Amino acid sequence: MSDNEGSEALLSQYLTVNLAQEEYGIDILAVREIRGWTPVTRIPQSPDYLLGVLNLRGAIVPVLDLRLRFGVEREQYTATTVTVIVAVAGRSFGIVVDAVSDVLDAADADVRPVPDMGTTVDTEYLKGLIAVEERMVLLLDVDRLLQLHDRQLMDMAGTEGRQAAA
């Protein structure tokens, strides 16, 4: 068996998005949909980064602003602002980002550990980074973006956010 035979299965794809002059990658297997920005219905007493919920073909989906989640100043939403709908453990939620860039193919062996410093983001939300030409792409750990207390808040509000059948 050659080295090439085993390495073919070790390729991953990431949707790359822009946020505050940095580039992030979201595992393409978690991405369900990319939507232009539309206003959401606010949930009272929710954290600032939890913008509210939207109705996605009958499913109530929570939406969070990634800038606010990461403690970065909120910017005015523009024509390039999008909501990326992701699904984690049967739960769908939206992530508002500045723009969508591309789809990145990367060998799993190219993913490097996150250093303790050098980014504006708490590293608990990152699972690694990849060097692509002259830039770095930070890989988001979407499982950790929606914290336990956020999930409990949405469950109490009756917003399970379960993925609707496509």
Would the pLDDT of 97 be above 80?
yes
Nearest to 18 by CA among 66, 85, 52: 66
Domain ranges of the chain: 3-156
Query: Sign of the C-alpha dihedral, residues 104, 108, 111, 114?
Result: positive
Rounded average pLDDT over 67-79: 89
**The model scores a pTM over 0.75:** yes
How far lies 146's CA from each of 70, 73, 133, in Å? 12, 19, 31
For residue 68, how many other CB atoms are within 10 A of its CB?
A: 16
Contact between 52 and 41 (Cβ < 8 Å): yes
**128-144 tens-digit pLDDT:** 999 988 889 999 998 88
Which one is the CATH code of 3-156: 3.40.50.880, 3.10.620.30, 2.40.50.180, 2.30.42.10?
2.40.50.180
